[in-house]
Amino acid sequence: MSSHDVVITGIGLVSSLGEGPDAHWQKLTRLGVEPVLDATRFAPYTIHPLPEIDWNLQIAKRGDQRQMETWQRLGTYVAGLALDDAGIKGNDELCATMDMVVAAGGGERDEAVDSAILAASESRNDRDVLLNEKLTTELRPTLFLAQLSNLLAGNISIVHKVTGSSRTFMGEEGAGVSAVETAAARIRSGQSTHVLVGGAFQTEHSDMLLGYELAGYLHRGPWKPVWQRQGSEGGGVVTGSGGAFLVLEQREHAQSRGRKVYAELGPVISGRARRRRGELDAEIAMLLKQAALPAGELLTISGASGAHAATAAEKAALDANPALAVRAFSTLTGHMKEAQFPFAVALAALAVDRKAGYPAFDATVERQFEGAAETVLATAIGYHQFEGLGLIKAA
């Protein structure tokens, strides 16, 4: 134990299951909890929709809410939950010295404008001129700001006054892994005392589905748990709206302000397998080896997406170690892209804090775990690229 250890002092969570760490713990530890699904709105795709959220609770000004679309609102809201949970929200001094690393994709396009342009393109050959004509007249000027990747962080600065530094990492699950890894490295080296890190994903927009479906990654047909989608119609991914933010803090800093600590964040390890060369299996095995897993039964919170190849590789690597009791939370939340790794770390930290595991999310595949969850493994193997995992330990 060292004073520069990284501890988790705040957790903000939103998914189709609800909001906040307590709500998620209660739902996820209830035997036989059913996923919240919407199979009609984007049929043939099933999604896990956002729960009802009163944005005013974390974004007080209507003016601020209007400047954002749902993705940024969601991220700003979840970040607020984490800050609240860590006792930092509203503390000007702590916010002004707080660093921030956000894992982000892009915001929502104006679907009505896009559809009108596409419809008109059927009868026009001068499509570039059509584009100029429509975009110059029909785009809402400030929509651009709601789409910019770094403006989720920008909105968190504006709404929650987190202004120490602001960095946005892009790149699907890998961005979430790098964000947590970089934030932890800053704390360990003494560069930062407290960092807000996380991401959000808003799947209820056709472009967000298109981002997967251009390579056929989405699962179609009746919903199934993450581990049971191999061979089904489609590519295996069922998406969900949600987000996860963590407050990571130097142990000494957290102690000096007398904060409750959920867990310690141990090593975070990232990698990039050259998957086309078939390196994924070996890469996951190597990451697990580098993590120096403790002896004995180990609860493993898997961010598996359901994507056929990546999920099969992860399952094989995890199954190779009989000590691992795996829980793939996307069965119940859907895949949340950039937020996937922060979400896995959050669920791992909750288990460590409550000294208990989660019951199987898919009892046909996931085995029982009765241990005290002193150490928990969190994984995020990207549906298309990039891999990472981390160990979360009792503080």
Per CB under 8 A, contacts with another protein among 44-103 are: 45, 67, 100
Give whichever of 10 and 388 is closer to another protein, judged by the CB atom.
Answer: 388
Q: From the list 249, 297, 353, 387, which residue makes contact with another protein (rule: CB under 8 A)? A: 387
Among positions 14, 209, 301, 373, the unique one binding another protein when judged by CB under 8 A? 209
User: Binding pattern to another protein, positions 272-301, x when CB under 8 A?
Assistant: x-x---------------------------
- Which tokens sit at 49? 């929709």
Q: For residues 98-127, which are near another protein according to CB under 8 A?
A: 100, 104-106, 109, 111, 114-115, 118-119, 121-122, 126-127
Could you give the CA distance from residue 146 to residue 286 in angstroms, rounded to a whole number? 39
Query: 236-257 burial string, b = 16+ CB within 10 Å, else e?
Result: bbbbbbbbbbbbbbbbebbeee
Rg (CA), the chain: 21
Q: Which residues contact 323 (CB under 8 A, 6 or more apart)?
A: 293, 295, 296, 297, 298
Whether 240 and 15 have beta carbons less than 8 Å apart is answered as yes
**Candidate residues 38, 110, 213, 279; the one interacting with another protein per rule CB under 8 A:** 213
Quote the crossing angle between the two packed helices 127-138 and 111-121, to the nearest 10°.
150
CA-based nearest residue to 34, from 283, 371, 361, 363: 361
Q: Closer to another protein by CB, 183 or 332: give it.
A: 183
Mark residues 330-369: x for contact with another protein by CB under 8 A, - for none: ----------------------------------------
Q: Quick one: which segment of 19-27, 76-84, 154-162, 313-321 binds another protein (CB under 8 A)?
A: 154-162
Query: Of 12 and 211, which has the nearer Cβ to another protein?
Result: 211
Residues within window 172-191 making contact with another protein, judged by CB under 8 A: 172, 174-175, 177-178, 182, 185-186, 189, 191
Rounded distance between C-alpha atoms, residue 76 and residue 224, angstroms:
31
Shortest Å, Cβ 191 to another protein: 7
Binding residues for another protein restricted to 124-143, rule: CB under 8 A: 126-129, 131-133, 135-137, 139, 141-142
Integer CA distances (angstroms), 122 to 119, 162, 326, in order: 6, 47, 49
**Which region among 16-24, 212-220, 255-263, 312-320 touches another protein (by CB under 8 A)?**
212-220
Residue 48 pairs in a beta bridge with 240
